[in-house]
Each structure stands twice: as structure tokens, then as C-alpha cells.
Amino acid sequence: MPVGSQATVKSLSPDDLREIGCDIILCNAYHLYLRPGVETVQRAGGLHRFMSWDRAILTDSGGFQVFSLAPLRKINDEGVVFRSHIDGSEHHLTPEKAIGNQEELGADIIMALDDVPSGTADSARVTEAVQRTHRWAERCLAAQRRSDQLLFAIVQGGGDLVLRKLSARTLAAMDFPGYAVGGLSVGEPKELMYSVLEETVPLLPAGRPRYLMGVGSPEDLVEGVWRGVDMFDCVLPTRVARNGAVYTLQGRRNVRRAEFKVQDGPLDPDCDCYTCRTFSASYVHHLFRCEELLAYRLATIHNLSFVQRLMKRIRDAIVLGTFESFRDDFHRLYKPTDETVRLAQKRTRTVGSSRGAGDDAL
């Protein structure tokens, strides 16, 4: 799912997304609650009509965004009181209000409010968060009034595999239509994330969607599916696009680099997206060097097209029974970002989000 936190995927129109092949996008109830306000969206006929998107929408409850604003919020079993990162105004979010907001927005899939501990939280805090997440999940189920929306629960537990198993089993017993694994990709090593998935996903009900929240690097999509995940979302493909990074089957490349100045062919000869069909890498390089707005749109189209094409190849390989060899071939070609660099960047972004940085950080 491309991320359109504020009812738009940055730099792209709904027509762009449809041409890329996106069938579902993520919007964020936290951002839409603060601006333009749930009532405004409801008066416009709901989120689909407001943003002219005729395909599926999933809204995140805002739990991660609220809890990433650690200096600006107070939490207890009733809910959370937080201050807006926009104007400092005070707001109170409960499980009931989180469900009410998402019902009024009118998304197709909505998320339960969860308690998201930081990646550095101690055992007591993670245990508290898991227990509170379970209580809030029950309240979210009781608060739901619309039968035309699928409500997903969110498994928590940090890197504690015992707590993760407890959370998965507890929430599975509540019989939600779908389940998410949250609280990952917050600065932990990839191997820990993979271990959590291996222990958690098999405990979730078969035949119901399993959603890994906030994860979207190509290697993690492949490894997540290998471990049983069905759905993903992440700002990564669009964020790195605006910084000049484009995906290829060999890994990420920085189109700002001098080598692209003389590349007459497309960004990626294996890609058939609008950008690669229409423009040379040299032209896209030129746009970035001149800081032209079109650069961001073209790179974003390319990266989202790459991800959608990768997911289609994964689905096709599963149907053909060749996913294991597909996975091996992918890893043989694709060079991921250095793990040390990735963790350092993640820590920097986490600090920025806790200080109320821009919406991509949130």
C-alpha cells in the first residue's frame, strides 16, 4: 500500500496511482483528524469521494503517530491525551474515538488503537503496552457500528518473542477479520524483525489477511511474504524517491550521481513505468540537479511501479510454486542498503518524529 497520510500520495494523482496498478492505499486517521478534520471529510461524502479515489483505502488509527510524539502526550488505560504537532492544541484519543473517526472517514479497512512502545522500551513497558493493546482491542470491537468496514487488530510485544506469541494468541481468539504486526521497523536489526515474524505470523488465523505495518524495502517485502505476510505499507518508496533514490533489481541507485548525466536510456531497462517509457535517466538527473518539481513525481512513479511489479512477481511465483527459487534469484541480484547505515538513518528519523517533525516522519 502506498502511503497517503493526508489523503494524497505525495506528488501523484489518483490517475497516476491507478496506472501504476495500486488497488489500495493507506491514509492516516491522525493526520486527517487534525487537518482538515473528520467532519470536513464526512461532509464531502467520505474519504473516497474527498480524494477522488475509487479503490480501497486502509486507515491507520493514529496509534503510532500519537505515541511517536512522546514529549507531547500522556497515556493511561482510558486513552491518550496528546498535543498536536501542528499547533499544540490538546486532544483526547480513546479506542472508541479512534473507531468513530475511522467510521466517519469511511475507509474499507480500519485499525484498532494500540499502545506502541518505543524500540528501546524496557520489559515492563513492553508488557504494559501489550496488555493495554489487548484491552483496547476489545473496546474497539465493542465500539464498531459499521458492518461494511473490516477492523484489524494489531499484535504488539517489541522484540520479546514470548510477549509476541501471547499477543498473537490473545488477539486471534477475539476473531478479527484481519491482523497486523505492529511495533517493528522502529530501529531493530532486520534479523530480529524476521524472528518476530517467524514466531508470530503462524499463530494468526489462516485465511485472514496478515499485515506488516510500516515495512516496505524490497528485500523486506520478499522476506515478509516468505514468512506469511500478505500486506505491507511504508513511506520508504516515496520518501527515497524525493531524495533521488530509485529502485532497480540490483538495488537502490542515486540518480543525482554524475554517472546518470550521460545515461541516455531509462532509469532501469527492466522497468516499463511511465517514467522509464518516456524519459531518459539523464533527463531525470537534470531535473533533480535543478530541483524541478517534476523530478519528485517521476521518481515516485518509478519506485511505486517497481514495488507493485515486485509484488506481482511474488504472487505469480507463489501460484506457480516457484517462490523459493524466485527468492533466491532476488537476493542474488539485489544489494540492500548497508545495515549499519540503515539503522543510523532509522534512529535519526525516530528522533525527528518524536519532536513532531513532518508527516512522513510521523
Q: Which residues are catalytic?
A: 60, 233
Asked whether 132 and 79 are in contact (CB, 8 A), the reply is no
- The answer to whether the CB of 330 falls within 8 A of the CB of 336 is no
In one-letter notation, the amino acid at residue 235 is: V
| Number of CB atoms found within 10 A of residue 19's CB | 14
Site of grid cell 531509462 = 266
Cα gap 150→152, rounded to integer Å: 6
CB within 8 A of 41, min separation 6: which ones? 7, 32, 47, 50, 104, 105, 106
How far is the C-alpha of 335 from the C-alpha of 123, rounded, in Å?
35
Euclidean distance between CA atoms 246 and 339, whole angstroms: 18
Q: What is the DSSP letter of 202?
A: G
Whether residue 36 is preceded by a cis peptide bond, meaning omega within 30 degrees of 0, is: yes
Give the gyration radius of the chain's Cα atoms: 20
CA 108 to chain centre: 16
What is d(CA 126, CA 190) in angstroms, rounded to the nearest whole number? 19
Backbone angles phi, psi at 173, to 5 degrees: -70, -15
With beta carbons less than 8 A apart as the criterion, state whether 169 and 130 touch.
no
